Structure 1
Amino acid sequence: MKANTSIPNLNLGLVGNCSYSALIDERGSVVWCCLPRFDGDPVFNALLDPSEQAALWAFELEDFARSEHQYEPNTAILRTRLYDSQGQGIEISDFAPRFWSRNRTFRPLTLIRRVRVLGGTPRVRVVLRPRFDWGRHKPEVTRGSTHIRFVGPGQTLRVNTDAPIEYILSETFFVVDRPLNFILGPDETLTGGIEDTARAFEQDTAAYWRHWTRSLSLPLEWQDAVIRAAITLKLSLFEDTGAIVAAMTTSIPEAPDSGRNWDYRYCWLRDAFFVVRALNSISEVATMEEYLRWLNNVIVRSRGGHIQPLYGVGQEEQLPEAILGHLAGYRGMGPVRVGNQAAEHFQHDVYGNIVLGAAQAFHDHRLLRRSGRAEFASLEAVGEQAFRVYDTPDAGMWELRTRARIHTSSALMGWAACDRLAKVAATLGLKDRADHWRERAETIRERILREAWSEERQAFAESFGGRDLDASALLMAEVNFIDPRDPRFVATVDALEKSLSDGPFMRRYEAADDFGKPETAFNICTFWRIDALARIGRKSQAREIFELMLRSRNPLGLLSEDTHAQTGEMWGNFPQTYSMVGLINAAVRLSASWDTVI
């Protein structure tokens, strides 16, 4: 029987617990969920499979009329309400358990779905169709009195439920006249009753997230937006190793039918640094501590040599890129890719992102384990590599596959590595090393100011001796390379607004790449623009653009990678950590002070 599915869109909610995640659409259908980890097999894949064979988990309301969904405030619990034409309805509560138990964080590979009646006698059918091996394998199904098992290659899933098993297996409509509970997870027997377990897990999960959000240091304005962004960033942490993924999806096109379809379910060192920095700005340092565990492994194993721009969440170096031809892709806009060739690239900004990500651990007295001289010695090896390669061609931060240049953004991060090492050395009382790294930072600084400046464009260009413009030049102020009131930086902002802005939105660069010129605006670039405008004194313009970006979020407050300037539609992988980082940074920079109201 065919499931009632609408055209896929990114009005999705994210639930998760730092072990796995699931994306749920406006009608309460699970359309994406990878197990046993973020970059694993999507056991629900309807987001990328428009066929009748799509793997999804839906609660279909007979005579469906409308739906609405929202998060339980200050939590990662999602509520979806479905109504029929007579006003009868149900509410679906979705969450992944996460709470403290026995002095540790309990975060099982479990999705809990609770259904309650809102009014009347609504009829519902449960469409529960997991698949394995990227949708190629239909599982063997077995049943018990209160559970269903889905047996596939490499993993078996079990759904424990107090709903009628026969109706679920036959996908038959039935009257919902009492609360129903569904617990999807590993093939394990519950230790307690189904309803009792689901209720207790929901209460404890809600309490965990409310306690977590309560500890945040929020700006006065836009608090709900910042809380939602912060929870989303937290859910992007794979807590077992400390890796932070760039997004939960693969192959959502950056623009319609563009072919710019990539797998973002991995840990980019650049993106992870900005996630850590954004959360630190609102006093959430636990994520940084987890990430530093993962990052330290990368640093030590590199032995002062080449470091990849990204790795798998388990530190996998090999992420071979392949196209899955049996999946049509998001709205039929393939290809669907798994793996990412960018792991093979040379992107020299990575060394600066490592040092920037690690530097706070030498200065912050709140941390359970501060870094010291041993960690500094390992970090110096990264700095030496940064200095060796800062003025050599690379793929750049945008991972250009067929063009290598000496990118300004890469040199800028090389400067940041040396500058932060000098500051760390001073904190550790190592005067000779502080002098050494200050000298190297100044060497790079002079080269950038001299060779990245374009007299023709009256702006810092995207490469040494080049003339093309790139929004990454805006990072010069963010990493404190240049005074934002410096006439050269102000002129660069003006030039970028003229060449890369589509109204309030901003594209990444102006030169054509492997796929031509970018069609959509890259959200983080728009947020960099907001930050730069605020720094140079154009705060009212920055606030105006920020308010528009807030309206560009989906109804649940989430952002993808890109925004189409003409249609306002979201494109690119989702939810994009870079975009949620920009939201937090902008709110913190632009908000009025708490002193104005207390």
Structure 2
Amino acid sequence: MAGRIEDYALIGDRETAALVGADGSIDWMCAPRFDSPACFAALLGDEENGHWWIGPAGRPRCTRRAYRGDTLVLDTVWETTAGAVRLTDFMPSRGSGPLVVRVVEGLSGRVEMGSDLRLRFDNGRIVPWTWSVDARTAAAVAGPDSAFLHCDRTLGTDVSRRCTSARFTVPAGARISFVLGWSPSHIPPDMSTDPAAALDQTLGFWSSWAANCRYRGPFSEAVMRSLITLKALTYAPTGGIVAAVTSSVPEDLGGERNWDYRFCWLRDSTFTLSCLLRSGYREEAVAWKDWLVRAVAGEPADLQPLYGVGGQRRLPESSAEWLAGYEGSQPVRFGNAAVGQLQLDVYGEVVNTVYSAMRADVPIDRHVWALIASFMDHLGRHWTEPDAGFWEVRGPRRHFVHSKVMSWVAADRALRMARVAGLRGSADRWRAMRGEIAEEVCRRGWDDERSTFVQHYGSRQVDASALLLPRLGFLRPDDPRLLGTIEAVRGLGEDGFLRRYSSDAGPVHEVDGLTGGEGTFLACSFWFADALALTGRRREARDVFERVLDVRNDVGLLAEEWDPAVRRQLGNTPQAFSHVALVNAAFALHGTRENGRRQGARRRPAGAHA
């Protein structure tokens, strides 16, 4: 049975990743990249769907674990009556394919240990043919996939079709290394990895990368761990950043809100770019911007909310009936049908990302300006239409206020860039568009009786996305309408955390068309802290920020949601949006004066003239 979501730690090589449980079992890994089929899928089923366990006999939960400094090298320690042992897990930068290295080291006494490897290709469905290559190496193959397991000791490994097992004793001072590698079945695997050298290289890479962080303030450990996590979620060959490494980890245990998050969302682009640039990671910010521009190139009408890590557009959604689902949560989905939704806010995200990059002196190629102009022409004709909105609801389209505000953002940022981009001939049209949108939002999206902006025209629902208004510059931080909206959003709170939205007419499923509930949304809670800080309530903002930090797991990771009732993380993990929001909120609370001036320069009242 899979562990709790917060039981898992992340290791990765910046092309794919694995989740390691507190019992020493790797229950999730896709190969060769984030959006490939999983070869370990026990997270969404059971051990027969693929896992790799190493730990003391009896499979106890670890005594403690931690990342080694500012790296993605994980140390897990068990202290037993017979002695103590440490398991070090990491994924080195790859050569021909992904590698998982696991090093067992005796700390004291003599500890009886075990290793069980069950490879299951094609998302836990296919049992490969497995055989012994020699006394220290086993191999497996099925269709396009192959893998090998090599140990630097002869352990008397038992190799069968369904499981490769070893039982061994580790005395104090002894060290045993395992290397698992994946390769296409038609290419011979490279089994030349030196575990000790790979560990030194991996520690050096992450320590050197982390040293470039320029955040200076309280909670620097939390900020650094979030940035390392974002780096681990980056697909190095293209610069795309996946929303999470998992698929179908539920937002409601036993429910149907189970989505595949192993893709790159445009909506995250501005938040992520800001987070990276503020933190000193210009190279990653440029790579993310470049991925974005390549992905969205084409006809403006074809703009998608999300893309694959390589920029691929077809991400068909299907169900995996052979997987029981995390704690019985069905269906298990791979692919994401939201790729075909109309989400007008993503045009604003793209234009805002290019604007933010330009302000940070990131080079913008000439063809990008033409692309932005074509997006604006398209948006100018379609911003009045209903869409699926920020939360990608699978119910009917509506006139979501956030989508309209992001259309305003697109017009505002395009207008600001017009002179630099040589697009002054369109300035009058964009200025008029910006004013028209602002007037409509303030008239049709405002509930005068409740003194708040609503989720969509004609509703009385409050939506946490309204907390982004001060950051987007739609209203000044001291605008009474903004302050009233922040107060109304408090009503989304549950035990100090915020839900995405509520319905006066009924439960959340009446908005998105799905059954069941969901937890509180961690990014929304960070946005609340951010909005409070920007409107001058810094002490309360810090209280909110610290409350959310407290629900990170023991190695500093956050999933998408939190259930205050049962005190468990929910949703896909680790969630990039949660960690980006953590970093941005930390800067809002504790950033430098220069950062504060740069943020403040972006704030303008709705409909302001450029």
User: Does the alignment reach a TM-score above 0.5?
Assistant: yes
Check whether the contact 1:321–1:339 (CA below 8 A) recurs between aligned residues. yes
| Partner residue, 1:101 | none
Q: In the alignment, does 2:272 pair up with 1:275?
A: yes
The farther-off stretch of 181-190 and 403-412 is 181-190
Residue among 23, 28, 49 paired with 1:27 = 23
What pairs with 1:578-593 in structure 2 (closer than 5 Å)? 578-591=577-590
Describe the shift of the 1:433–1:283 C-alpha distance in structure 2 as closer, same or farther (beyond 3 A): farther
Q: 2:462 — aligned with what?
A: 469
8 Å CA contact 1:125–1:167 kept in 2: the answer is no
Equivalents in 2 of 1:189, 1:324: separation in Å?
29
Range that drifts further, 314-323 or 159-168 = 159-168
Native 8 Å contact 2:22 2:61 kept in 1: no
C-alpha RMSD of matched pairs (Å): 2.1
Residue of structure 1 in register with 2:313 after alignment: 317
Partner-residue secondary structure (3-state), 1:250: coil
8 Å contact kept, 1:94–1:111: yes
1:97 aligns with 2:92: yes
Q: 1:247 pairs with 240, 244, 248, which one?
A: 244
User: 1:65–1:136: structure 2 CA closer, same or farther, 3 Å change rule?
Assistant: closer
**In the alignment, what sits opposite 2:49?**
54
Which deviates further from its counterpart, 36-45 or 427-436? Answer: 427-436
Aligned mates of 1:484, 1:284 — CA distance in 2: 28
Which residue number corresponds to residue 169 of structure 2?
Answer: 175
CA distance in 1, matches of 2:153, 2:382: 61
DSSP 3-state at the match of 2:405: helix
- Unpaired runs of 5+ residues, structure 2, are 595-610
Q: How does 1:530-569 map to 2 (within 5 A)?
A: 530-569=529-568
Whichever residue aligns with residue 299 of structure 1, its letter is V
Counterpart of 1:298, as a letter, is A
Deviations 1:440-474 (A, max 9, x none): 22222222122211112210111134322111111
Cα separation, 2, equivalents of 1:215 and 1:168: 46
TM superposition shift of 1:380: 1.5
Query: Which of 278, 288, 293 is the matching residue for 1:296?
Result: 293
CA distance in 2, matches of 1:45, 1:81: 24
The alignment's TM-score, normalised by the length of structure 2, stands at 0.90
- Is the Cα contact below 8 Å between 1:250 and 1:263 reproduced in 2? yes
1:125 to 114, 128, 140: 114
| Residue type of the alignment partner of 1:91 | R
* Residue type at the aligned position of 1:394: D
Amino acid at match of 1:54: N
Task: Give the direction of change, closer, same or farther, for the CA distance of 1:168–1:243 in structure 2 (3 Å limit).
Answer: farther
**What is the number of equivalent residue pairs in this alignment?**
575
2:222 aligned with 1:225? yes
Question: Cα–Cα, structure 1 residues 307 and 428, in superposed 2: closer, same or farther, change >3 Å?
Answer: closer
The yes-or-no answer on 1:162 pairing with 2:152 is: yes
Judged with a 3 Å threshold, the aligned counterparts in structure 2 of structure 1 residues 108 and 432 are, in CA distance, closer, same or farther, namely same
Q: Indicate if the aligned counterparts of 1:27 and 1:82 stay in contact, CA closer than 8 A.
A: no
**What is the alpha-carbon distance in structure 2 between the residues aligned to residue 411 and residue 518 of structure 1?**
27
Code of the aligned partner of 2:108: G
Q: C-alpha deviations, 1:477-516, integer Å up to 9, x for none? A: 1111110110000001111112x11131111111233235
When the two structures are superposed, what TM-score results if normalisation uses the length of structure 1? Answer: 0.91
Matched residue of 1:118: which SS? strand
Q: In the TM superposition, what whole-angstrom CA distance separates every residue of 1:500-534 from its partner, at most 9, and x where no partner exists?
A: 11131111111233235744111111111111111
Q: Are the equivalent residues in 1 in contact too, given 2:15–2:33 (CA < 8 A)?
A: yes
Helix, strand or coil at the partner of 2:217: coil
1:502 corresponds to which of 477, 480, 494 = 494
Counterpart mapping for 1:254-403 below 5 A: 254-301=251-298, 303-365=299-361, 367=362, 370-403=363-396
Q: Cα distance 1:243–1:338, how it changes in 2: closer, same or farther (>3 A)?
A: same
- Cα distance in 2, alignment partners of residues 443 and 432 from structure 1: 19
| Secondary structure of the structure 1 residue equivalent to 2:216 | coil
State the secondary structure of the residue aligned to 1:133: helix
Q: Is the 8 A contact 1:49 1:330 kept in 2?
A: yes
- 1:528 paired residue number: 527
Percent sequence identity is: 34
For residues 6 and 438 of structure 1, do their structure 2 counterparts lie closer, same or farther at Cα, with a shift above 3 Å needed? Answer: closer
Q: How big is the shift at 1:436?
A: 4.1
Matches within 5 A, 1:396-415: 396-415=389-408
For residue 384 of structure 1, report the CA deviation from its aligned partner: 2.1
- Which residue of the partner structure matches residue 150 of structure 1? 140
1:102 matched residue in structure 2: none
More deviation in 265-274 or 116-125?
Answer: 265-274
Is there any run of 5+ residues in structure 1 with no aligned partner, and where?
Answer: 99-104
Check conservation: 2:348, 2:407, Cα contact below 8 A.
yes
Tell me the secondary structure at the aligned position of residue 404 of structure 1.
Answer: coil
Distance 1:286 1:60, change over 3 A: same
Partner of 1:13: 9
- Encode CA deviations 1:84-104: one digit per residue, 9 max, x unaligned: 233x12211111113xxxxxx
- Go from structure 1 to structure 2 and tell me whether the alpha carbon gap of 1:290 and 1:372 turns closer, same or farther (over 3 Å shift): closer
Structure 1 distance, partners of 2:226, 2:436, is 38
After superposition, what is the alpha-carbon deviation per residue over 1:410-462, rounded to whole angstroms, capped at 9, x for unaligned?
A: 11111111111122223346544445433322222222122211112210111
Structure 2 CA distance for partners of 1:474 and 1:107, relative to 1, 3 Å:
farther
